[in-house]
Chains A and B, each alone.
Chain A
Amino acid sequence: MIQHLPILAIMTYFLGAFLTTLLGHNSKSVRWFLVMLASVASFVMMCLLIKPIFLDGGIIGYWMGGRAPEAGYAIGIGLEVDALSLFFGLLVTFTVLLSAVYSIKYISRDDAQDKYYTLFLMLAGGVLGLVLSGDLFNIFIMVEIMTFAAVALTAYRNWAEGSLESAFKYLAVGSIGSSMILAGTIMVYSQVHTLNLAQISALLAGQGLTNTTVFAFALLFIGFGVKAFIVPFHPIAADAYMTAPASISMVFSGMVNKAGVYGMIRLVYVVFQIMDVKSVNYLIVLLGTITMFIGVTSALNQHDFKRLLAFHSISQIGYVITAIGLATSLGIAGGLYHAMNHTLFKGLLFLCAGAVFYSAGTTDLDRLGGLAKRMPQTAAIFLVGAAAISGIPPFNGFASKWVIYQACYEAAAAASGFASIFYAVVTIVGLLVSVMTLASFVKVSQSVFFGQLPDEFDEVKEAPLLMRIPMWIMAACCLLAGLLPGPLSRFALQPAAAATLNIKGYIDTMMGGGYAASQMGDVTPVAELDFSTIGYWQPVAWLVLFVIIMAAVLIVALGSQGARGNKRSTELEKVDGKYATFFGGEHSTYSMVGGSDLFWGLRYNLRHYFGFLSDMHSGVVNDYALWAVTAAAGIILYMFLFL
């Protein structure tokens, strides 16, 4: 039974998509029932896999139609679920579940909802299929399904400003990436005449690197880079995240770009086993660092809530890529940890943006303000998310970023010469990016939730309960993931990180015992993962202490103030000048600093750089394609020069 669960989980989504089109056309309740059933069922199936895979350390191999390998050649299409796949599978199903709950209310005002849910479930199935697949061509197909559904969902609200153009840009640049993946797949096929990941991995390790293999690797790497939206493939992501409905933006940042990250990890660690080559490490770390820096500085420049979040999403993926590129156990664990945390806090923030959009009808930072008075819960949740993404203890972003800094700096200490300085600079950039992230979230909270409430938003109401539930769940997860890094790492992160290095087990599960040894000659032993240096379990004691004290003080402060506040009616506040804000004598109704002017000092000093960023995101699809093609050419050239 247990080995059927992965394919069932994938098919549940696709079947749900099919049935939603078929039956959900007229009836709201049928539609909701189908969507909830599909997302809950898939999530439960993934959870059932936790025990055999995470806890018992097993790997599940599954041949579609029972077509096992014959004469040492994989002829069927395989699914293979190891801890790494399951880790991402859990993220996917969790995100889908919460997003489905959120969607019920969030898109209730739109028409053609059955199409929304169909595409939504197709997207979910595509991503889940990608992370659970053990077949390179199948991965391509799933990437295409994913891109197709994602583009359609980006254009879903085609009345909204810019959604069509961003969908088109996504499609144009995304299809370049897909073509790269397809071309890379066939290059690999020309070398090893199989499409099964496990067999490819075994045969490639036996063959060593040929020119074709290097070319194939470069193409696949670029393809997944486009899907993970690393710089300079990122402008499409910024547009798509901004214009898609918030529930879809959450899915994009929670799992669609994770699919690219997963593809990259699978590619470099398992299929090509190329991470012992230093030049590949440098390339990945460099790309990751550039991604996080450009992402965050572009975010400082934005004046739309969701577009700002989109750039942060790009920036956080940069952290993940950097950590994974370090190729140390600490780095992999930190990268996976941060990938998970990113799903949590970024999903949370996108949902907050969605709640603001739902209630106030805009996400323009220059127009919004003072919503904390009207939407206190959303504001509180947003603060949790902002603290988490800026890495403020005790939330989850802090723990994972800490591991990543440690990994970077240890890599710097272990390396010598130029490399050590490079990694040290990476650490500094990482810390700086964190501060800038904090800064830009201060900007958001100032211009959306605090400050003065413009008159047009006086009647704004709190988001409905069905939208707040997923938000609260995510906020709780943010806190839990920050407070319990120990169990998390023992039961999920370490198995997943170990899976990236357990290549022999991965191959033998699919191809039969001893296959790896026969093809690869000396089998790379399962590298010992040294987790002793992971320091993040240490602070838990005092982090808990910190929380307790903070909570106690807060309760005291709020309690006493609340009691006094009750006696004072809000009417009195309006009449009595004592409670008016200080304007220095001149009366002014609305004179807040606009969101985009909040970093004037910074922007003035770095105006040339910000001008360059502005030009870079020109909005012309040709420019984005040019960036992508140029970067692709550069990466291919680099691979040929240094591999």
Chain B
Amino acid sequence: MILTNYVCSILLIALGLYCVVCKRNVFKIVIGMGVIDYGVNLLIVSIGFNPGGSAPIFTARELSHDMFFVDPVPQALTLTSIVIGACVTAMAMAIVIKLKQKYGTLDTEKIRRIHG
């Protein structure tokens, strides 16, 4: 079951990379960047997963040795990473809007005034 997660996350990352590398539309590249992020986030959560574990919500008093829960650290990391991803996407969108205003196109083949 956990294997499905890994495969899916790798697929997502690969899809995202495909998007960034092959799609000529700036929007789709931003989407691709997002998809890579989701893939990595899925990977993080999957690594912290313990089959049969409960949610890591407890107070210090309830903590005992026979408790079995999933690793909480990766979940915290995922949250942080999602926030960062949202910031990056917002920034990318702002730049895309400006690009559209200035260049009048979203085609990467035409947004190449700096080259050589």
| Interface size grouping (class) on chain A | 35 or more
Q: What CA separation (Å) do A166 and B98 show in the bound complex?
A: 12
Contacts known (A179-B36, A618-B115); A168 close to B96, Cβ less than 8 A: yes
Least distance between B112 CB and chain A CB atoms (Å): 3
**B111 and A168 form a contact (CB under 8 A):** yes
**A144 and B40 form a contact (CB under 8 A):** no
Interface-facing stretch out of A82-90, A187-195, A250-258: A187-195
Q: What CA separation (Å) do A584 and B102 show in the bound complex?
A: 48
Chain A, Cβ-Cβ closest to B113: A162
**A171 and B95 form a contact (CB under 8 A):** yes
Q: Is the CB of A523 closer than 8 A to any CB of chain B?
A: no
Q: What CA separation (Å) do A405 and B114 show in the bound complex?
A: 34
**Which of chain B's residues have a CB closer than 8 A to the CB of A164?**
95, 98-99, 102-103
Majority secondary structure, A binding face: helix
Interface-facing stretch out of A150-158, A355-363, A484-492: A150-158
Q: What CA separation (Å) do A622 and B107 show in the bound complex?
A: 11
Q: Is the CB of A161 closer than 8 A to any CB of chain B?
A: yes
**Which of chain B's residues have a CB closer than 8 A to the CB of A626?**
21
Please report the number of residue pairs spanning A and B whose Cβ atoms sit closer than 8 angstroms: 125
**B77 and A186 form a contact (CB under 8 A):** yes
Considering only residues 15-43 of chain B, those with a C-beta below 8 Å from chain A are: 17, 20-24, 26, 29, 33, 36-37, 40, 43
Interface centre among B40, B71, B102, B114 (most CB of A within 10 A): B114
Contacts known (A164-B99, A193-B71); A171 close to B115, Cβ less than 8 A: no
Q: Is the CB of A410 closer than 8 A to any CB of chain B?
A: no
**B114 and A165 form a contact (CB under 8 A):** yes
Q: Is the CB of A137 closer than 8 A to any CB of chain B?
A: yes
Chain A interfacial positions (CB closer than 8 Å to B): 137, 140-141, 144, 147-148, 151-152, 155, 158, 161-162, 164-168, 171-172, 175-176, 178-179, 182-183, 185-186, 189-190, 193, 195, 239, 242-243, 301-302, 307, 614, 617-622, 625-626, 629
**Which of chain A's residues have a CB closer than 8 A to the CB of B66?**
none
Q: Is the CB of B7 closer than 8 A to any CB of chain A?
A: no
**A622 and B24 form a contact (CB under 8 A):** yes
Chain B interfacial positions (CB closer than 8 Å to A): 13, 17, 20-24, 26, 29, 33, 36-37, 40, 43-44, 47, 71, 73-74, 77, 80-81, 84, 87-88, 91-92, 95-96, 98-99, 102-103, 108-109, 111-116
| Residue in B91, B114, B116 whose CB lies within 8 Å of A614 | B116
**A165 and B113 form a contact (CB under 8 A):** yes
6 further A-B contacts with Cβ under 8 Å, apart from A140-B81, A147-B88, A622-B108, are A137-B80, A167-B95, A176-B36, A186-B47, A189-B47, A629-B17
- 22 example contacts (A-B, Cβ-Cβ < 8 A) are as follows A140-B81, A147-B88, A148-B91, A158-B102, A164-B95, A168-B92, A171-B88, A171-B92, A176-B20, A182-B44, A182-B81, A183-B13, A186-B40, A186-B44, A186-B77, A189-B47, A195-B73, A242-B114, A301-B116, A620-B108, A620-B109, A622-B24
**B36 and A175 form a contact (CB under 8 A):** yes
**What 10 A-B pairs come out closest when comparing CB atoms?**
A619-B115, A619-B112, A162-B114, A190-B47, A625-B20, A186-B44, A144-B84, A165-B111, A626-B21, A179-B36
**A151 and B91 form a contact (CB under 8 A):** yes
**Which of chain A's residues have a CB closer than 8 A to the CB of B47?**
186, 189-190
